[in-house]
Amino acid sequence: MHSSPLLGRLTAAGAVVVATALVGGCADFSQQDESAHAGAFSSAAEGPQNPPTEPPDTSQDEQDPPTGPCVDKNPAVIATCLGTTSGVRPASADGKSTYVAERTTGNIIISKRYGPQRVIATVPVDGSGDGGLIDFELSPGYQQDQLIYALISTGADNRVVRIAPGNSVKPILTGIPKGATGNMGSISFASPTELRVATGDAGDPAAAENPGSLAGKLLTIDPNVAGGRPRIVASGLGSNVSLCPSPEDGALYLADSGAAGDRLLQVEAGGLKKLWSWGARPGLTGCAVSGGTITVSMATKFRLELLRAPTNTDPTVGEPQESDMKKQYGAVGRLTSLGSAVQLATVNKSVPGAPAASTNDRVAIISPSGASGDDRM
């Protein structure tokens, strides 16, 4: 790990427009739910109440590893041979099992080191461009209701849906603009009645500034209410937006790449506060907070950058520290918090020049305090 060049601190500018207005012109949820495809809206899960559990412990970590093209001898790797990944979430307290989404297949998979892997949900998606199964989040009551929420692309739009047992899919928020690019967004629960939705600009920076468009926005919705309208928290977001909530103090950060630059922002009551900006435009693809560190991924640059999380006594983040990922992991996309560590998901199959390997794509656990390619957990 070494210090990155000093890029200079930029002040927050007018590219981010904050509002608290309700969005008008949203899709009619009742019509959507009455369609033959969607079915009637229900706040309760359908089907048997047998929530998926993490794969059984095969104790392989203490034995000689199996052989085959999907075996990665790096002990930090906990899932291999995945399609192009998007969202990732821990599936156990120690993070040694994981839920991970495949962007173009619409599969959400549970896996642990050396397997087995199991698809726990599938949603139809349009995986063209950078769309598809963009992100997902487990319900706060997942062990009881088995509900999964997902940000997806269809042939007509980007939308938030609820996936119940048996792959029963219900729309929650429709009409988010979809583009040939600029679809990458993020979702995160603030509470059981508040889902935060960060949307890409769909390749149209003007739409991100338009209060009548759902593109390029940070929104909140109640996922339990059919027909509820989203509230705009902030506008002017870019083409690839990641939310990174802090499990330590509840702070919410946002990384995005777009017309306004590549930025790390903090979501505050009054809007968005810029913490750092990358003048070289490396392309931010994910972020996570752990152990007082904000880790930001840059897939096409094959690196992570680590910044000190701000505190009340020191609201700055300091100069980023670079960690080269190309040799060990290649292109890193989304990240998720895991106590003092993070889970990372690679996107080597979709990034030109990324290292080819029979185990692509993968999920691994790393420690931000030693986030080099030789990290071992």
In the predicted structure, residue 337 carries a pLDDT above the cut 70: yes
**The architecture CATH gives domain 2-36+70-370:** 6 Propeller (2.120)
Distance from chain centroid for Cα 278: 20
d(CA 344, CA 323): 13
**Residue-averaged pLDDT of the chain:** 85
Note the pTM of the prediction, 2 decimals: 0.84
H helix and E strand count, the chain = 3, 25
In the predicted structure, residue 282 carries a pLDDT above the cut 50: yes
Least confident interval from 17-21, 190-194, 226-230:
17-21
d(CA 374, CA 89): 22
What is the C-alpha R_g of the chain?
20
Q: With H, G, I as helix, E, B as strand and everything else as coil, classify residue 185.
A: coil
Tokens of 222: 């109640």
Average pLDDT over residues 138-154: 97
Torsional sign, CA 43, 47, 48, 50: negative
Q: Peptide bond before 116: cis, by omega within 30 degrees of 0?
A: yes
Tokens of 72: 């990665």
In the predicted structure, residue 310 carries a pLDDT above the cut 80: yes
Task: Classify residue 37 by its DSSP letter.
Answer: T
Q: Domain locations in the chain? A: 2-36+70-370
As a dihedral over the C-alpha atoms of residue 15, residue 236, residue 288, residue 222, rounded to 10 degrees, the angle is 140
Tokens of 219: 């929104």
In the predicted structure, residue 49 carries a pLDDT above the cut 50: no
Tell me the C-alpha to C-alpha distance, in Å, between residue 230 and each of 79, 105, 174, 195, 359.
Answer: 35, 28, 10, 10, 40
Q: Which helix (H) or strand (E) holds 122?
A: strand 118-122
HSE-up (13 A, CA, CB side) for residue 170: 24
In the predicted structure, residue 371 carries a pLDDT above the cut 90: no
> What per-residue confidence (pLDDT) applies to 6?
29
In the predicted structure, residue 10 carries a pLDDT above the cut 60: no
